[in-house]
Structure 1
């Protein structure tokens, strides 16, 4: 191996080694952030339950609320249900259902509640009526607005996070003669843009579905720090292998023997 090739090999190996080490430390940082988030959610989970009975009961800023348990009182707005499309459960295609909840009544704050999962062969059009324990009543008549006839209700659950930009391409799914927004993820900004709803920044993951409904519980909060630590170990291993292999190659080329020849007696 010529001197110039050795220099080039060293530069490439050092550059890749530095890149792999930097990626390893980045994964360690992500592991620390995720671990801190899991610990914070665990602490909030045992905090006293929030009672959200009217405007002003819960701060508008969601910082410090993710993982906190809460009970809301108000009314459901079934007509405004939003579909989280393409959600599988136990190998079955389906969708999760986000239902607006009017805290304090019809003129109250709108909170999106992740009520649960429903089967849907196309991942887009679940039977929304099967997600309720009570059958549709005469309030569905256009001459009798459904929202006014809905009885008071309460819902309990835990606050989960949403993120703008995760909603993907908005679609419209026609279910039982009504059109519902279908999005790819919890994206409140997209819901505000695509519907007449003005939800608060909060999303509540409801506890057990109502008796008699076919709803299954929605996905739970992450309870571990994820795979970032193992990713960090892999990147550091790549750096060691790359630098070590380069050193062996340079040493073997310096004395004119290959690594395989060195092992021969």
Structure 2
């Protein structure tokens, strides 16, 4: 025990403190990954429960214009009314399959007089400008729309958009542009519209994949890193112990046994490769 007194100093206390702080950071990062995994699993459950639910009238699902709770996400709702095509907007920075593009959002005025924002789908960025080459128009006249609910998005500080475009689907901003009572906490991804548009529609948003992502493996990796920090500290203590006690018969005997085991195993692949390189120099 006396031979380990060398660890009882400020230097080794500092090493231990670093290892503890590193472990705490790893544990916190691991917990964050577990929290992200819980969020992904909850989202997957909402998709499984709501995506293929029976379609319900919007006023039954959202009784007021500011109504919303997360369990409603992806629920299909039905609306009757007409598109306000002149108020159509493009939402920037909406990539799909690795290709940059825009989401096409169109205010839809229901027969009850309220405006509901419909995301009709995706169009690619134009070939020569920061805008689509063409945007398919929505059906004119009376239309029946089925859309899957999503929560409105917040604004992003410092993010702006040119006229006719939005940085995010911030529904109060759409309400200001339209100037009519609007659902301000929920909008919808288009599932179907009847009658069909006269021209091709934007590319529909696909069903989210039920994929948990790498969060579980990342959470376990951070725990492993925390353990490895203490293993590294132990290895450092052991190395200095051998150096300080090289004259100890027990330490010398242990080193001789290790040397004999290495000789019995023969050279490693790396050692053979190094020897070949040295022989050709």
After TM superposition, the score normalised by the length of structure 2 is 0.72
Cα 1:89–1:57, aligned 2, differ >3 Å: closer, same or farther? closer
Equivalent residue number for residue 142 of structure 2: 152
> Are the counterparts in 1 of residues 55 and 146 from structure 2 also a CA contact under 8 Å?
no
Equivalent residue number for residue 161 of structure 1: 151
Cα 1:5–1:99, aligned 2, differ >3 Å: closer, same or farther? same
Q: What stretches of structure 2 of length at least 5 have no aligned partner?
A: 1-5, 247-253, 261-281
Correspondent of 1:16 among 11, 14, 22? 22
Cα 1:204–1:74, aligned 2, differ >3 Å: closer, same or farther? same
Correspondent of 2:40 among 34, 44, 58? 34
In the TM superposition, residue 67 of structure 1 has moved relative to its aligned partner by 1.4
Is 2:255 the partner of 1:249? no
Correspondent of 2:88 among 81, 88, 109? 81
> Are the counterparts in 2 of residues 169 and 184 from structure 1 also a CA contact under 8 Å?
yes
Is 2:37 the partner of 1:50? no
Distance 2:166 2:143 in 1: 26
Q: Bigger CA drift: 80-89 or 66-75?
A: 80-89
> Are the counterparts in 2 of residues 17 and 242 from structure 1 also a CA contact under 8 Å?
yes
Aligned-residue CA RMSD (Å): 3.0
Distance 2:47 2:27 in 1: 30
The size of the alignment, in residue pairs, is 236
Larger Rg: 2
Note the alpha carbon deviations across 1:203-231, whole angstroms, 9 max, x for none: 11002584531511135445333432222
Equivalent residue number for residue 170 of structure 1: 160
Distance 1:57 1:16 in 2: 48
In the TM superposition, residue 194 of structure 1 has moved relative to its aligned partner by 5.9
